[in-house]
Amino acid sequence: MTNIYSAVEVDFEKNVLYSIRFQDASVIIRKKKLPVFTVGINDRLNDMTCTLVEEKVLTCSTFAFLGSYTPYGNFFDGQDGYWYGFANQGNSSGDATMYWIKIKKDDYSFTEGVWTLSNAHLQAVGSFKVDTFVERTNRGVIRNGYLYVPAYELTGIYKINVNNSADVTFIEFGFESEGTALSGSGTGATYIVLVNDLIIGWDYQIKPDDTVVQTAGSKRLLYAGTPLFQYKEFVTAWGGNYGSDYHSTFLVTPYLASINNLDSAVIKNTDKTMKITYELTEVTE
């Protein structure tokens, strides 16, 4: 399950999962076959047949996960043709040091560097560790070219341009967040997710215009350690809790469906491919 825990992107239509890890001064990108809509007779839906298709190792000169016992850092799908890696340790004062790497999906070319974010007090953007159990935490999301990371004091969230470290905005909550993981306490812990264009934390939501809405805090995921991966009205995530692995899928609600009452019959011919569902109601007059 190590490669599932480090998942960064899922292409549902192509039955492919991409996982990215940092290890031994290298970024390791793995493309895996994930049975979704095309399932072979030897495939199993418990993710045990998530087989390796391609592996690429990028040797870094600057980018690195930080820390000794717990490696702090995380990878994200920028949804702009690139994957991004960021690494920082939480700081309650002073400037924040952020290591970064930007990887082009098409050819795996990359750039890397380190930022000093003036007077930014950040939570660690995430962590990944393989010990007795695989452990991953997520405390950041990318939306429309900006990385959102909660403030160390949990009184707001920082909005950081992924391509311009001078473009940093602090968005105040107007209250102190509890900062609890949406997935509860386990070896997989996700504190913030992106659904459609809505950022969701334990007790807050950030709308597309960066307006903050305070909400009642509650556990919404089951030991999720990955981001939420969305396909149409569904989101899915992987995670674990001390030796038990979890794969959860949710329907995004409210979900609007429709029923059409046709005035006349539709005739299917060679140039039409459709599915029509009729709802029959018996009426007694």
Residue-level pLDDT at 186: 79
For residue 175, the one-letter residue type is F
Tell me the helices (H) and strands (E) count for the chain, helix number first: 1, 22
Residue-level pLDDT at 207: 96
Kindly report the pTM of this predicted structure. 0.86
Are residues 22 and 125 in contact, defined by beta-carbon separation less than 8 angstroms? no
Distance from C-alpha of 239 to C-alpha of 250, rounded to nearest angstrom: 14
Distance from C-alpha of 119 to C-alpha of 131, rounded to nearest angstrom: 34
Q: Is the dihedral of CA 280, 270, 13, 192 positive or negative?
A: negative
CA distances from 194 to 33, 45, 69, 227 (A): 24, 25, 29, 8
Per-residue pLDDT of the chain (285 residues; tens, 9 = 90+): 567 889 999 999 999 999 999 999 999 999 999 888 877 777 766 665 678 899 999 999 999 999 988 999 999 999 999 999 999 999 999 999 999 999 999 999 999 999 999 999 999 999 999 888 888 999 999 999 999 999 999 999 999 999 999 999 999 999 999 999 998 877 889 999 999 999 999 999 999 999 999 999 888 888 888 999 999 889 999 988 887 888 888 888 776 565 566 666 656 565 656 666 777 777 776
Are residues 212 and 168 in contact, defined by beta-carbon separation less than 8 angstroms? no
Question: Which one, of 127, 108, 115, lies nearest residue 181 by Cα?
Answer: 127
Distance from C-alpha of 125 to C-alpha of 10, rounded to nearest angstrom: 21
